[in-house]
Amino acid sequence: MEYKPLEVTRERASSGTESMRINMGPAHPAMHGVIRIMLTLDGETVTDAEVEIGYLHRAFEKMCEQGNYLQALPYTDRLNYVSPLINNFGYMAAVEKLFGLQCTERTQYIRVILSEISRITDHLTCIGASAMELGSFTAFLYLMKAREFLYELVEDVTGARLTVSYARVGGVKADLPAGCKEKTLKALAEVRKILSECDRLLTRNRIFVDRLEGVGVISKEDALAYGITGPFLRSTGVDYDVRKAQPYFAYDRVDFDVPVGLQGDNYDRYLVRMEEMRQSMRIIEQAFSKMKEGPVQVNPFTGEVIAGAKMVDEAKLGHTSGLLEIKAAVDPTLDGTSKYDQQKIYPSGEKEKRVMLPAKENTYGNIEGLMNHFKLIMIGHGIRPPKGEAYFPVEGGNGELGFYVISDGTDKPYRVRVRPPCLPPMAALANMIQGGTVADIIATFGSVNMIAGELDR
């Protein structure tokens, strides 16, 4: 076969000028391997652009139809994997809406705290990566250091950094660990220091401002027409925030401001995200001060602890007398599943048996608990919301993250539809980069904060 060298397509206009069509991505470092932009250039100026997505499509919505409602939870971690807890809570809130359930007040505050921690990690990643791609590697390192303080908090609470799977229908996996409040407030103090340092490094840096100001401009009307939400929309001057417009969890009980921009350019989007992180820390501190502890346990605890495996063996032999008064020592992955932990979340002792797993002591120690566990776990059983549909929006790191769930009365969702907040800005990207230079694409694309797992679903 005759070898033919790769040729760049050129089009000659009637005026005698030449235009060049080239691919930017998916191999370009700034495209993260998952986006392809087909550019038409006149020198360094972009005259036309076409954005192609779908390089990371993992069939999230279809996979949610294959298992039960709880088995879909780990898939949500892989949507916006920079702030997975917000995905967890949004999906579970939609399922709770199907059931007509309202999670406890303490759980609502826990969800608010962890959602805002996730929002900060999301914005730190966006600003840090964008600054690095524009040449500011120092700011990137500082912001990743700040993010590390918060990831340690997430790991303390959930046991994981990214793939957390922490939410449950009607609640959360486990209560906050001892000392969580003090450690969180200490971490927020460190994050504030780093944000102040990066503010001095970037906000009035002549090179940084010149690369962002007046670049990637989108008007308020165009942003609304595309369905854009989040920091991208707020940079145009529209103060729409789901937490204010449709309060959920405990957001109506905390005070915070919604920062907005004026120009709708990349610089405004940077400023909005910087201020949102400060507001998120303000929300977290209020949530901790307002959250009630409640009793640690309702029933007296004898003090005896035995291994979960031994408790199972005793139950198999019929030696169930007194098992309910003994605490099971379980594997670390099951922490929070004992009745003594659950009583922190449900102080009254009342539990929603249709959706919440029984405590391990009950599963191992009596037939009712075993049957309850069986009915929620076994294939063909599981939790079964009534027939119907529910949509629940939350404010994600990039804007309105919505979950639309349809139930046909079985243990599997009939349909799970996700409204990914970074899709509308990606739809508008082609128009935003036209008329700019190739170098400006990096800054504008970074301000979109595109997360491919959420975009391609």
Round to whole Å and give the CA distance between 232 and 218.
9
User: Are the CB atoms for 36 and 23 separated by under 8 Å?
Assistant: yes
Question: Strand locations in 201-337, DSSP E?
Answer: 305-307, 327-329
CA angle (319, 322, 323) in 5-degree steps: 70
Domains of the chain, CATH where assigned:
65-292+395-456 (1.10.645.10), 305-377 (no CATH)
DSSP at 252: G
Round to whole Å and give the CA distance between 141 and 194.
10
Low-confidence ranges of the chain (pLDDT < 70): 1-17, 293-306, 317, 319-327, 330-352
At 299 the pLDDT is 28
Strands 305-307 and 327-329, by their bridges, are parallel
CA angle (156, 128, 255) in 5-degree steps: 60
CB atoms near residue 125 (< 10 Å): 19
At 349 the pLDDT is 47
Whole-number CA gyration radius for the chain:
25
Of 286, 288, 333, which Cα lies nearest the Cα of 308?
333
Q: Is the dihedral of CA 152, 394, 231, 246 positive or negative?
A: negative
What are residue 186's phi and psi, to 5 degrees? Answer: -65, -40
Of 101, 88, 85, 97, which Cα lies nearest the Cα of 354?
101
Strands 171-172 and 305-307, by their bridges, are unpaired
Round to whole Å and give the CA distance between 213 and 216.
9
Round to whole Å and give the CA distance between 229 and 243.
12
At 332 the pLDDT is 64
Q: What is the pTM of this model?
A: 0.82
Q: Which two tokens stand for residue 317?
A: 């032999």
At 367 the pLDDT is 84
